[in-house]
Structure 1
Amino acid sequence: MTTAFLFPGQGSQAVGMGKSLAETYPVARAVFDEVDEALSQKLSAVMWDGPLETLTLTANAQPALLAVSLAVIRVLEAEAGLDLKRDAAFVAGHSLGEYAALAAAGTFGIADAARLLRIRGDSMQQAVPPGEGAMAALLGADLDLARAIAADAAQGAVCEVANDNGGGQVVLSGAKAAIDRAIVLAGERGVRRAMLLPVSAPFHCSMMLPAAEAMRAALGKVAMLAPVVPVMANVGAAPLVEPAAIRDSLVAQVTGTVRWRECVEAMTAAGVTRFVEVGSGKVLTGLVKRIATGATPISVGTADDIAGYKP
């Protein structure tokens, strides 16, 4: 059975995530302590005790989700004998999850990855003034229809495809007025449901260009190694192993479309039959079920999940 390990993105955060891991496994606790130290913040306390509003802040949610995913990986290595180089064909992460995937595969250290995601979260939040941008999910739309709706709704403003998640779920991002127009057009064109998302900025569109430049500068200062297994990159939906190409891809990802459907399809075409979602929640597990029928998706995010994990 050929396996890929998947790492979730923003929206999978929940108060209490990772707490059972830290209480059960010293190697997990060490990950949370390292992230806290890297950020000079007791982020683990926010993760375990809330409030949810503080955890959901982009600058907190991104390194917090990274911490949980890497804690799970470290426990699987210690308790289940996981060796990504031996046991995985690919790693892949959804948006910020790509940083967790790369850290798990050895491209970044934990502290560097946490600091990069704090910079990423802050710069994405600051790129667009509050209220000027928005995102909307189109449910029951394929990519071509979503692109056509975005083009017609733009009317000179930014309205772009942010995520092609698969299973008929496409997310648009851009100027608030354009996104509002897109929601109306979606209803007129037979999209099953179109709804605004509760986000604080229009991620993965050209309005994020200032954040992309901030990440270019930040990534240029961090040592990067080749991952021990290829990362299936969001923006190219193709495997990468060269640090320079990975750096460029991570910069492009800030303003580019997360091509998640194509990433899963490419891994399936390469022979992957099992997808292991590592970290908080089961969002990617659900998406894989809709994209790769016949594959085996599982999620590993708690101490109980780890106890039942089979290599």
Structure 2
Amino acid sequence: MFALTGNAPEAADLFAHAALLLGGRDPRDFVRDEPEEALHRNRAGQILCTLQPLAAACALADVIPRGVIIAGYSVGEVAAWGVGGVFDATATLDLVARRAEAMDAATRAGDGLIFVRGPSRDEVGRLCERHGAAIAIVNPGDAFVIGGGREALSGIAADARAMHGARIVALPVEVASHTKRLAAASAGFRETLRLVPAVFPPRTGARILSGIDAAPVVSLESGLDKLAAQISQTVQWADCLQACVEAGATGFLELGPGHALSRMVAEIEPGLPARSLEDFRSLQGVRAWAARHLGA
């Protein structure tokens, strides 16, 4: 993380603000020096995963065209509101810190997430009903993130293996994100959102999608309702990607860490160009690609 954005002068203030939220640790040092366990703690992880797209958007502001479609995966949906200009970027970092704190306060010991690929949506739904868990995220290609307590997730993993699931992985997450177990966190975060200055519609002309239904945000209040509800409702990520395609997307650029989301585009529309920030060696390379594929 931060290989391309860490030295961008446009993002310097963001890195300084994130350091305050991380107890004085520079985020660039944090991701390099801290043990993996520390990186995956809920609050730190959410701050880091939000800082990356915000820093990228600042550094690439000159080539991100007006009217882009912005969708965010999990905490990335809060980042999307910052990238789209509805929230100030530093305020967005403060928001995700509060979001994580609300989620931690509502979490029960042993809660977490697993990834399952292979069984159909109906089959996964029946497994969740049998074991008392819930689908947290629907990804393309019969790939699901499931949230619940430790015993429930272990039971689902065992049943999915018996069904010859293609991939079953316990995720390094200690909250049952996007399930009803975090209903109290949704309520608390909605109150936090009431106090945050917002510009809507965004000056950038961006179209921001809500994760729980893949619909464009058409009013500030209903959009904030959905942004808070997303903490405790299923994220329909496959539908978000499909909505981008149906709206005429010419290409996808993943701003957050990693490249998992850009690879998912092939499951929806193999012919569309899709790249992640980490595919490039320089910001200039990103700018050149964006100019060709994003209409910049």
| Shared fold (TM-score, shorter chain, > 0.5) | yes
Instruction: Give the AA of the match of 1:255.
Output: S
1:9 paired residue number: none
Q: Distance in 2 between matches of 1:217 and 1:254?
A: 13
Higher relative contact order (CA 8 A, sep 6+): 1
Instruction: Give the AA of the match of 2:81.
Output: L
Which one of 63, 69, 77 corresponds to residue 82 of structure 1?
63
Instruction: Look up the SS of the partner of 1:258 in the other structure.
Output: coil
Q: Distance in 2 between matches of 1:92 and 1:299?
A: 14
CA contact (8 A) 1:204 1:255 kept: yes
Do residues 151 (structure 1) and 137 (structure 2) align? no
Instruction: Look up the SS of the partner of 1:22 in the other structure.
Output: coil
CA offsets 1:250-283 (integer angstroms, 9 cap, x no match): 1110001111001101111121131110132111
CA offsets 1:106-132 (integer angstroms, 9 cap, x no match): 11111211111111112212312322x
Do residues 122 (structure 1) and 101 (structure 2) align? yes
Mean CA deviation greater in 290-299 or 98-107: 290-299
2:294 paired residue number: none
CA contact (8 A) 2:16 2:26 kept: no
Q: Distance in 2 between matches of 1:263 and 1:20?
A: 27
Which one of 153, 164, 170 corresponds to residue 196 of structure 1?
170
Cα 1:303–1:21, aligned 2, differ >3 Å: closer, same or farther? farther
Q: How does 1:172-251 map to 2 (within 5 A)?
A: 172-226=146-200, 227=202, 228-251=205-228
CA contact (8 A) 2:251 2:272 kept: yes
Q: How far 1:299 sits from its partner (Å)?
A: 1.1
Q: How far 1:168 sits from its partner (Å)?
A: 2.2
CA contact (8 A) 1:204 1:254 kept: yes
CA contact (8 A) 2:40 2:173 kept: no
Q: How far 1:39 sits from its partner (Å)?
A: 6.3
Which one of 2, 19, 27 corresponds to residue 36 of structure 1?
19
CA contact (8 A) 2:84 2:206 kept: yes
Q: How does 1:265-276 map to 2 (within 5 A)?
A: 265-276=242-253
Instruction: Give the AA of the match of 2:94.
Output: R
Instruction: Give the AA of the match of 1:307.
Output: Q
Q: Which runs of 5 or more structure 2 residues have no equivalent in the other structure?
A: 292-296
Q: How far 1:239 sits from its partner (Å)?
A: 1.0
**Aligned length in residues:** 284
Identity %: 25
Instruction: Look up the SS of the partner of 2:168 in the other structure.
Output: strand
CA offsets 1:138-178 (integer angstroms, 9 cap, x no match): 11133222112211222xxxx11001011221111112222
Q: How far 1:63 sits from its partner (Å)?
A: 1.4
Kindly indicate which of the two structures has a greater share of residues assigned to strand: 1
Cα 1:134–1:30, aligned 2, differ >3 Å: closer, same or farther? closer
Do residues 139 (structure 1) and 107 (structure 2) align? no
Cα 1:20–1:195, aligned 2, differ >3 Å: closer, same or farther? closer
CA contact (8 A) 1:142 1:170 kept: no
Q: How far 1:289 sits from its partner (Å)?
A: 1.8
Instruction: Give the AA of the match of 1:67.
Output: L
Instruction: Give the AA of the match of 1:82.
Output: V
Q: Distance in 1 between matches of 2:251 and 2:211?
A: 19
CA contact (8 A) 1:65 1:279 kept: yes
Q: TM-score with structure 2 length normalisation?
A: 0.88
Q: TM-score with structure 1 length normalisation?
A: 0.84
Cα 1:64–1:43, aligned 2, differ >3 Å: closer, same or farther? farther
2:54 paired residue number: 70
CA offsets 1:35-90 (integer angstroms, 9 cap, x no match): 3346663342313432332222110111112111111111112xxx224425x2x1
Instruction: Look up the SS of the partner of 1:235 in the other structure.
Output: coil
CA offsets 1:182-231 (integer angstroms, 9 cap, x no match): 22222333422333222112111111112112201111111122233111
CA offsets 1:9-55 (integer angstroms, 9 cap, x no match): xxxxxxxx2154333x2112232123334666334231343233222
Q: Distance in 2 between matches of 1:76 and 1:91?
A: 15
Q: Which runs of 5 or more structure 1 residues have no equivalent in the other structure?
A: 1-16
